[in-house]
Amino acid sequence: MMQLLRIELFKIFSRPRTYISFAIIAAISGVIQLAMLSDGGSFVNFAMQGVNEQFDIQGKILNGYLVTYITLQSLLIHIPLLVALVAGDAFAGEAGMGTLRLLLTKPVSRTQLVLAKFLGSLVYTLLLLIWLAIVSLGVSLLLFGPGDLINLKSDAFVLIMQNDILWRYAAAFAFAGVAMMSVSSMAILLSVFADNAIGPIISTMGIIIVLTILSNLELPLFTLIKPYLLTTHVIGWKGFFDDPVPYHAIAHSALVLVIYTIVFVGAAILFFKRKDIKS
């Protein structure tokens, strides 16, 4: 099993395609930071317009924590798409290349192969999140320095003191890891059915986009299904920037995401064990 995982990681990180995601994250984060450096003051004034009318806010509002929060808001919706690039390729890419049949003529357990590919894509996902933490939080703190974080919501704003922020980011990134694990497992499941990598990558992206739209539509029709949608829970990390932190809701979301992961990986094993390799 460990040998299979080592091989999977070697294959993932030997492909130039893998690093595209890292480059995209660095680029988006860099663009946001650059924009904030050049015109962040106006942005903050605009965003705080309503707040400033009622409150007298002192201190450095445009700081590294705020820029990171803005970056995460923009990026954590897109990261599932980047995760799908590698996880969706796991089986379908090998089938397309023809290496799956060579792999399975070797004395390899199909169950272990699914698990190794899942764990391989999970390692990639976690590294992607660590990279996101470095380029968003790390670089933003370097460029803008620390400060209190003002989290503006539609009907309220939350002020989080500077010394109370870092653990929230750590927890948010950890939660994002669980969320992306479920996305990764969905892409792996779709990958098992396909013989071409494009299909599962596009399908994962499509499903995430459709579910995100459904999660955000305030229509009675969707109210019933919202609690069960993957995308409803994927954004649970935002709870760590509320006051008080809704631990129960966050734990519930994490549990739903873990259940999704188990179901997706279990289904992938079940189907792959019975699959005829015709590619």
Partner 1 sequence: MVPVLEAKQLSKSFKNFQAVNDLSFSVEQGDVYGFLGQNGAGKSTTIRMVTGLIFADSGTVYIKGGELRNNSRHLLEHIGAIIERPDMYNYLSGWENLKIFASLSHKKIPNSRLHEVLELVGIENRRKDKVKAYSQGMKQRLGIAIAMVHNPDLLILDEPTNGLDPQGIAEMRKLIQHLSHDLGKTILISSHLLYEIEQIANKMLIIHKGKKMVEGEVAHLLHPGDTLIQVTTLPNESITAKLVTSSWQEKVQQSSPILTTFKMDPAQVPQLNAWLVNNGIQVLEIKTKHLLEEYFISLTNDAATTH
> Least Å distance between CB 112 and partner 1?
9
Residue 16 or residue 220: which is nearer to partner 1 going by CB? Answer: 16
- Count of residues near partner 1 by CB under 8 A: 24
196 binds partner 1, rule: CB under 8 A: no
Amino acid residing at 164: D
Name the β-bridge partners of 151. 158
Residue 15 or residue 153: which is nearer to partner 1 going by CB? Answer: 15
CA torsion sign for 255, 260, 266, 269 is negative
Q: Are 149 and 142 in contact (CB under 8 A)?
A: no
Residue 197 or residue 230: which is nearer to partner 1 going by CB? Answer: 197
Within 2-41, which residues bind partner 1 (CB under 8 A)?
A: 3-4, 7, 10-11, 14-16
104 binds partner 1, rule: CB under 8 A: yes
Residue 14 or residue 58: which is nearer to partner 1 going by CB? Answer: 14
Residue 4 or residue 265: which is nearer to partner 1 going by CB? Answer: 4
216 binds partner 1, rule: CB under 8 A: no
C-alpha span between 78 and 43 (Å, rounded): 22
Residue 56 or residue 276: which is nearer to partner 1 going by CB? Answer: 276
Contact letters for partner 1, residues 84-103 (x by CB under 8 A): -------------xxx-xxx
> Least Å distance between CB 93 and partner 1?
10
54 binds partner 1, rule: CB under 8 A: no
Q: Which has the closest alpha carbon to 71: 160, 156, 139?
A: 139
250 binds partner 1, rule: CB under 8 A: no
Residue whose structure tokens are 């933003």: 140
Question: Interface with partner 1 by CB under 8 A: which range of 65-73, 75-83, 107-115, 262-270?
Answer: 107-115
106 binds partner 1, rule: CB under 8 A: yes
| Binding site residues, partner 1, CB under 8 A | 3-4, 7, 10-11, 14-16, 97-99, 101-109, 274, 276-278
